[in-house]
Amino acid sequence: MIKGAIFDMDGVLVDNGEVHFEAFRQFSRKYGIEVTTEQLRSVFGMGNDDIFRVIFPAELIERVGLKQLGDDKEVLYRSIYKPVIPNKGLHALLRDLADAGIGCSVGSSGPTENVEYVLNECQIVPFFKHKINGDMVVKRKPDPEIFIKAVEALGFAPEECVVFEDSLSGVEAARRAGTHVVALTTTYPADVLREKVAPDYIINDFTEISSAKLQELFG
């Protein structure tokens, strides 16, 4: 029986991939670096430290520091991300899960400030018992640490939990944590998700899932 639901944030609670990509593009240009959407899509879902290691030269990272780069990029991201619109069907699903007694947690690689910003703007703070974010873990997706912590916070067994993810690294992390995983097609089309990471179930948005459907699939 499904007792807990864990939601990634970027690409799941909100379809904000393009906002992050634009923030990375603008931020990178400050340092004379051009990055492509394809580069950014390939690392979407990872933490900033890992992303910067891919797109920035080691000399620049050593000179400025990963933390400063990450903090500055996220300030830019929050300044351009307006309005914040929840993914289709999210509010109805969260109410449905609450009515069914299914506990919810966030499991996002984003920093605390981003998680608080999105949840407040979407007016969904009360639905989440726990908010596990990138500031609370040592290892980032595809390592399962963030979802293991979210499962432990909810107090259920991994097989009693389902993770909602959109990125390849996120689906892999959920699998390695031992949970069920439902993938959204906000970042990758269904055929790519099936080929690359084979999630248990794929949806286009939250109107296609419910507490009853989760029990039917995984209960």
Residue with tokens 């991939």: 17
Mean pLDDT for 144-153 is: 98
- Residue pLDDT, tens place only, 153-203: 999 999 999 999 999 999 999 999 999 999 999 999 999 999 999 999 999
Q: What is the CATH number of the domain that holds 145?
A: 3.40.50.1000
The pLDDT of residue 41: 87
Boundary residue ending a domain (29, 58, 80) = 80
Round to whole Å and give the CA distance between 138 and 208.
34
Is residue 109 located within the same domain as residue 128? yes
Those residues whose C-beta lies under 8 Å from the C-beta of residue 211, and which sit 6 or more positions away, are 2, 96, 97, 99, 100, 102
Q: 91 and 55: one domain?
A: no
Give yes or no: residues 49 and 140 share one domain. no
Statement to judge: residues 67 and 89 lie in one domain: no
The pLDDT of residue 45: 79
> Is 36 in the same domain as 108?
no
Query: What is the C-alpha to C-alpha distance for residues 133 and 124, in angstroms, rounded to an integer?
Result: 16
| 54 and 152 assigned to the same domain | no
Of 128, 74, 90, the closest CA to residue 106 belongs to 128
Cβ(20)–Cβ(10) below 8 Å: yes
| Number of domains comprising the chain | 2
Span of 4-18, 34-48, 100-114, 175-189 with lowest mean pLDDT: 34-48
Q: Looking at residue 115, what is its pLDDT?
A: 97
Claim to verify: residue 34 and residue 24 sit in the same structural domain? yes
The last residue of one of the domains, among 64, 80, 96, is 80
Residues 94 and 172 in one domain: yes
Mean pLDDT over 29-36 rounds to 95
Calpha distance 51→33 (Å, rounded): 14
Domain harbouring 36, CATH code: 1.10.150
Check whether residue 67 and residue 173 sit in a common domain.
Answer: no
Structural domain of 31: 17-80
49 and 106 housed in the same domain: no
Strand partners, 7: 106, 164
What is the mean pLDDT of the segment spanning 110-119?
96
Please tell me the predicted confidence (pLDDT) of residue 208: 98
Are 56 and 143 part of one and the same domain?
no
Per-residue pLDDT reduced to its tens digit, 40-99: 988 887 888 999 999 999 999 999 999 999 999 999 999 999 999 999 999 999 999 999
Residues 57 and 90 in one domain: no
